[in-house]
Amino acid sequence: MEFVTKGPEETQNLGRKIAADITGGEIFALTGDLGSGKTTFVQGLAQGLNISKRVISPSFIIMRIYDLGEKKFYHVDLYRLEEKIDTEIANLGLKDVWGKPENIVVIEWAEKIKKLIPKNAKWIKFENLKENERRIIIQ
């Protein structure tokens, strides 16, 4: 599926729509350049999951966990990870997180750990078109 959004609200709306189908255990692997709308999309996902806390980019701490009651929403951002990436990922304990039905995981810059991402992940590619336009391709 391919979408072109004209402004951040539309990208958030798309995230909200995708969130409506979430049942648990999903892994979303987001790829695309800086400013292509990944975090904006995650904000929409979070809204759709009734997370009231503001979703900000977890760049400096790599991972943020939002409690959904019975489930948990993991927002991972690998932007700043360059070296020893496998070790860092191991330290995050993601292997024990993704795949569990109670966890929903979204990873920005997932291309950095492509080989580690489980096969059942849904890949979503973000592209900068114009200042306010983004192409979003959902696998």
Residues forming contacts to ligand ADP in the complex (CB under 6 A) are 5-8, 10-11, 32, 34-40, 57, 108, 126, 132-134
Q: Tell me phi and psi for residue 58, to 5 degrees.
A: -85, 25
What is the smallest separation between the CB atom of 34 and Mg ion, expressed in angstroms? 7
Among 127, 118, 131, residue whose Cα is nearest residue 31: 127
User: What residue 99 binds from Mg ion, ligand ADP, none (CB within 5 to 8 A, per partner kind)?
Assistant: none
Any idea of the CA torsion for 112, 124, 63, 61, to the nearest 10 degrees?
60
Structure tokens given for 14: 């798309």
Residue closer to ligand ADP by CB (options 36, 103) is 36
Residue closer to Mg ion by CB (options 39, 103) is 39
What is the smallest separation between the CB atom of 96 and ligand ADP, expressed in angstroms? 26
User: What residue 37 binds from ligand ADP, Mg ion, none (CB within 5 to 8 A, per partner kind)?
Assistant: ligand ADP
User: What residue 103 binds from Mg ion, ligand ADP, none (CB within 5 to 8 A, per partner kind)?
Assistant: none
User: What residue 31 binds from Mg ion, ligand ADP, none (CB within 5 to 8 A, per partner kind)?
Assistant: none
DSSP 62: S
What is the smallest separation between the CB atom of 9 and ligand ADP, expressed in angstroms? 8
Round to whole Å and give the CA distance between 30 and 123.
Answer: 6
Segment holding 54, helix H or strand E:
none
